[in-house]
């Protein structure tokens, strides 16, 4: 090879890339064919890994996620991925933010699909980095379908869901033999921006924990619907902003108070609403109830 980048791509493919993966899987002929194609001037076979970054604490990354970040040629990352995790990306990799905010999509979802396909067809090792787990309200399923429809080699690396990370950091067991025999993850934000059409009677049942993603804007309507469905206004609630990160904030109260807690404390995303008796178990929640009763 006369070109430095071409030499680098060849040896990285041989040691860490598709060539190495084919060989380790026992597909020696496939690995040999990739080597021949590249020696003949061809580009390495592109691949996309849809990777969960977890809730924000870099120590909660999986080992596989870390390895892929350090091998990637280009990383398309979401707004909710923490700076500490962004810093772990390979130094000379391209970094492209395709994050979304409420009512503002800097890069529309179909365009993200096109970018992933285009980069893979250029022979790049692509990481699509998403906060939490890609398959829990992360649009990972849409992206995997789009890649497969185009014949792109695509894989999914799970991450610790923000629901699990935030609950654990706050000392909230999502299930508990005495208080919650089920846990349900729901979105509080429909595609249109309104409250989604949920099965409120089912969600109003007791002895279960509700974890609501993207529910800040519609906190008032969510609380009203749950109370109408049978949840007691006094049901404990925890609101966790920036869970597992250094700037994490936690607020505890009751279901009827939830909208006021969000407004008065100017809670911003990323934040989760955890509703159910388990939200009243942490010491912070107990102290808060004792203070309210003494007031």
Distance between alpha carbon 19 and the CA centroid of its chain, in Å?
Answer: 29
92 given a catalytic annotation: no
Q: What is the largest CA-CA distance in the chain?
A: 79
Given CA atoms 210, 197, 213, 116 in this order, what sign does their dihedral have? positive
- DSSP string of 112-165? HHHHHHHHHHTT-EEEEEESB-TTSSSSHHHHHHHHHHTT--EEEE----HHHH
pLDDT tens digits, residue range 92-119? 999 999 986 655 557 899 999 999 999 9
Residue 46 to residue 154: CA distance in whole angstroms: 9
Crossing angle of helices 28-39/4-15, nearest 10°?
180
Residue 9 to residue 92: CA distance in whole angstroms: 13
pLDDT tens digits, residue range 211-222? 999 999 999 999
Element (H, E) at 34: helix 28-39
Residue 221 to residue 293: CA distance in whole angstroms: 27
pLDDT in tens, the chain (295 residues): 456 666 666 666 666 666 776 777 788 887 888 777 777 766 667 899 999 999 999 999 999 999 999 999 999 999 989 999 999 999 999 999 998 665 555 789 999 999 999 999 998 999 999 999 999 999 999 999 999 999 999 999 999 999 999 999 999 999 999 999 999 999 998 766 677 889 999 999 999 999 999 999 999 999 999 999 999 999 999 999 999 999 999 999 999 999 999 999 999 999 999 999 999 999 888 888 888 788 7
Q: Which of 57, 78, 124, 133 is labelled catalytic?
A: 78
Residue 271 to residue 217: CA distance in whole angstroms: 11
Q: Please state the length of the chain.
A: 295
Question: Is residue 8 a contact partner of residue 71, using CB atoms and an 8 Å limit?
Answer: no
Query: Structure pTM?
Result: 0.83
100 given a catalytic annotation: yes
Structure tokens at 123: 């022979």
- DSSP string of 79-123? TTS-HHHHTTS-TTSEEEE--EETTEESS-HHHHHHHHHHHHHTT
Peptide linkage before 246 cis (omega within 30 of 0): no
Q: Which of 37, 43, 94, 100 is labelled catalytic?
A: 100
């Amino acid at each position: 090879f006369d070109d430095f980048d071409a030499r680098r791509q060849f040896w990285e493919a041989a040691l860490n890339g598709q060539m190495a993966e084919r060989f380790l899987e026992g597909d020696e002929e496939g690995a040999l064919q990739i080597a021949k194609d590249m020696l003949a001037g061809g580009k390495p076979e592109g691949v996309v890994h849809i990777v969960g970054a977890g809730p924000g604490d870099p120590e909660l990354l999986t080992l596989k996620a870390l390895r892929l970040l350090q091998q990637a040629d280009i990383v398309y990352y979401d707004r909710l991925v923490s700076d500490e995790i962004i810093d772990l990306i390979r130094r000379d990799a391209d970094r492209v933010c395709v994050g979304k905010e409420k009512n503002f999509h800097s890069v529309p979802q179909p365009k993200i699909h096109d970018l992933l396909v285009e980069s893979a067809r250029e022979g790049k090792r692509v990481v699509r980095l998403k906060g939490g787990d890609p398959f829990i309200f992360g649009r990972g399923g849409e992206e995997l379908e789009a890649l497969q429809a185009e014949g792109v080699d695509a894989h999914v690396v799970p991450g610790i869901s923000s629901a699990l990370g935030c609950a654990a950091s706050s000392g909230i067991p999502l299930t508990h033999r005495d208080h919650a025999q089920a846990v349900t993850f729901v979105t509080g934000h429909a595609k249109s921006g309104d409250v989604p059409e949920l099965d409120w009677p089912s969600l109003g049942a007791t002895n279960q924990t509700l974890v609501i993603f993207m529910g800040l804007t519609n906190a008032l309507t969510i609380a009203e619907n749950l109370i109408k469905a049978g949840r007691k206004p006094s049901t404990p609630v925890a609101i966790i902003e920036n869970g597992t990160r250094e700037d994490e904030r936690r607020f505890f109260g009751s279901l009827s108070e939830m909208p006021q807690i969000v407004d008065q404390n100017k809670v911003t995303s990323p934040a989760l609403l955890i509703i159910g008796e388990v939200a009243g178990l942490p010491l912070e929640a107990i102290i808060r109830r004792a203070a309210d009763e003494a007031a």
